[in-house]
Amino acid sequence: MLQEAAREGYDCIIVGAGHGGAQAAASLRQFGFAGSIALIGAEPEMPYDRPALSKDYLAGKKTFDRMYLRPTDFWSARNIVLRRGRRVEVVDPSSKTITLDDSTNVSYGSLIWAAGGAPRALTCDGHNLSGIFYIRNKADCDALIAALPKAKSAVVIGGGFIGLEAAAILRGFGTEVTVVEALNRLLSRVAGEPVSRFYEQEHRRHGVEIRLSAGVQSIAGKNGRVSGVRLNTGETIAADLLIVGIGIIPSVLPLLIAGAEGGNGVNVDEFCRTSLADIYCVGDCACMTRGSGIRIESVQNASDQAITAARAICGELKPYDAVPWFWSNQYDLKLQTIGLNAGYDATILRGDPATRSFSLVYMKSGTVIALDCINMPRDYVQGRKLVETGARIDPTSLADTSLSLKDLVRQ
Ligand SMILES: Cc1cc2nc3c(=O)[nH]c(=O)nc-3n(C[C@H](O)[C@H](O)[C@H](O)COP(=O)(O)OP(=O)(O)OC[C@H]3O[C@@H](n4cnc5c(N)ncnc54)[C@H](O)[C@@H]3O)c2cc1C
């Protein structure tokens, strides 16, 4: 007698086994979720620390086995089914079923979409040549690492954090590096002018060539391989390889096709709920429509949104209200950011950039909204309170480094 195969299903399915997905699975169990959980990720690896890719891993200072987010037996010990190397292609909210890239259908009670984003790709002439690298996952990074020994020169397209971290590491290997940035300063999307100019100076000091206000017209090639970059300024920069760091496209197509509201990622409310019943979205691909009203790409955001979604699934509706933080390592410089500087109308410099240890305080309507602290861990720790409380502090006191931020909080 023919028997219908039992349909696979889980009480909660998490799509994407990166920072947000791994945290969501761990938090569900932590908050007492007793149902079945599947964590499905497209990458073949166990969940790992993505920021390390453009830092210690690329530099050869950290082996991959030290980058796992949790011990390898963590998932089975908590009865979490970790399915690696599988992509979710279709979401059907009416039957509460997803379809994987091997055509398996799996049903869910709740779904947490934590699929991150894919690197924005070059589209200009020459974009298909070999020797063009992106850094989003381990495979990308391994391909770059394999190509580096043969490369004398590299062009980094995009003067954001990932491009600049890679540039710093390549200089450490002795590679000639040119950074090409379309806007008129580095880090323009994320940092104020003094921070941008400081990093520009540091990179130049380490021998990095920098082209600002320079668009890429096409990629030059020879025998199918990259040989350089033609800029719209008329200049051609010779290079053995290219690293492209021009942002990401949120990986949300299956959710949008399923009818989720969104555009720049998928829209979520303060509990990380999408417009589709029982479907949550967290991390790089979630656009919070209340509070900050934006999509944030950071480990902190992915982890804290995952906790919010897990709580909501466990019946505790606690709005997401974390204070954002971020970091970047370049050379011996550690940048730590607290708060979001979106919409700032004034900045105050604490300390002298020439000492390579200073902070930039971002103000909006007279209140402190964020700080970038460069080799200033004390300001970073103490500045959190100023951001949390939206402190109103006079600019002269803020600029005075003989006053600690802790003292200013007390005042
Ligand atoms: C090189 C690099 C350096 C960074 N440095 C920093 C830093 O210093 N500080 C910081 O705060 N942040 C940093 N970030 C950003 C940070 O890593 C991300 O914000 C964070 O990983 C977001 O977590 P996430 O869970 O949203 O996405 P991810 O961690 O990207 O995880 C998403 C996962 O989903 C998988 N996936 C995608 N589509 C599907 C699908 N359809 N089905 C199944 N699986 C799918 C992906 O393969 C991926 O494994 C860095 C990012 C990169 C790439």
> Residue 114: pLDDT above 70?
yes
pLDDT tens-digit profile of 272-295?
999 999 999 999 999 998 655 689
Q: Which residues fall within 8 angstroms of residue 348, CB to CB, at 6 or more apart? A: 360, 361, 363, 395, 398, 399
Is 286 a pocket residue for ligand 1 (Cβ < 6 Å)? Answer: no
pLDDT of residue 2: 46
Is 47 a pocket residue for ligand 1 (Cβ < 6 Å)? Answer: no
Q: Ligand 1 centroid to 134 CA: how many Å?
A: 13
Atom number in ligand 1 closest to CA 254: 41
Domain spanning 8-118+249-313, CATH architecture? 3-Layer(bba) Sandwich (3.50)
Asked if residue 127 lies in contact with residue 121, where contact means CB atoms within 8 angstroms, the answer is: yes
The 265-268 sheet, strands edge to edge: 262-263, 265-268, 286-288
Q: Tell how far CA 35 is from the center of its chain.
A: 30
Q: Ligand 1 centroid to 18 CA: how many Å?
A: 6
Q: Ligand 1 centroid to 98 CA: how many Å?
A: 21
Judge whether 8-118+249-313 and 121-246 match in fold: yes
Average pLDDT, the chain: 96
Q: Which residues fall within 8 angstroms of residue 395, CB to CB, at 6 or more apart? A: 346, 348, 363
Atom number in ligand 1 closest to CA 52: 3
Q: Give mean pLDDT, residues 145-157.
A: 98
pLDDT tens-digit profile of 19-49?
999 999 999 999 999 999 999 999 999 999 9
**What band does 6 get if pLDDT is binned at 50, 70 and 90?**
low
Side chain identity at residue 376, one-letter code: M
Is 160 a pocket residue for ligand 1 (Cβ < 6 Å)? Answer: no
pLDDT of residue 164: 98
Q: Which fold has domain 121-246?
A: FAD/NAD(P)-binding domain (3.50.50)
Is 136 a pocket residue for ligand 1 (Cβ < 6 Å)? Answer: yes
Q: Give mean pLDDT, residues 294-320.
A: 97
Is 295 a pocket residue for ligand 1 (Cβ < 6 Å)? Answer: no
Q: Which fold has domain 332-410?
A: Enolase-like; domain 1 (3.30.390)
Atom number in ligand 1 closest to CA 298: 19
pLDDT tens-digit profile of 329-387?
999 999 999 999 999 999 999 999 999 999 999 999 999 999 999 999 999 999 999 99
Is 21 a pocket residue for ligand 1 (Cβ < 6 Å)? Answer: yes
pLDDT of residue 411: 72
* Strand pairing category for 367-374 and 358-364: antiparallel
pLDDT tens-digit profile of 47-97?
999 999 999 999 999 999 999 999 999 999 999 999 999 999 999 999 999
Residue having the nearest C-alpha atom to atom 38 of ligand 1: 115
pLDDT tens-digit profile of 175-217?
999 999 999 999 999 999 999 999 999 999 999 999 999 999 9
Is 99 a pocket residue for ligand 1 (Cβ < 6 Å)? Answer: no
**What band does 409 get if pLDDT is binned at 50, 70 and 90?**
confident
Percent residues over pLDDT 90 in the chain: 96
Distance separating alpha carbons of residues 165 and 326, to the nearest angstrom: 14
3-state helix, strand, coil in the chain (%, to 5): 30, 30, 40
Is 40 a pocket residue for ligand 1 (Cβ < 6 Å)? Answer: yes
> Residue 264: pLDDT above 80?
yes
Is 190 a pocket residue for ligand 1 (Cβ < 6 Å)? Answer: no
Where along the chain do its domains lie?
8-118+249-313, 121-246, 332-410
Distance separating alpha carbons of residues 308 and 20, to the nearest angstrom: 11
Site to substitute for ligand 1 among 299, 304, 307, most atoms within 8 A of C-beta: 299
pLDDT of residue 408: 87
Percent residues over pLDDT 70 in the chain: 97
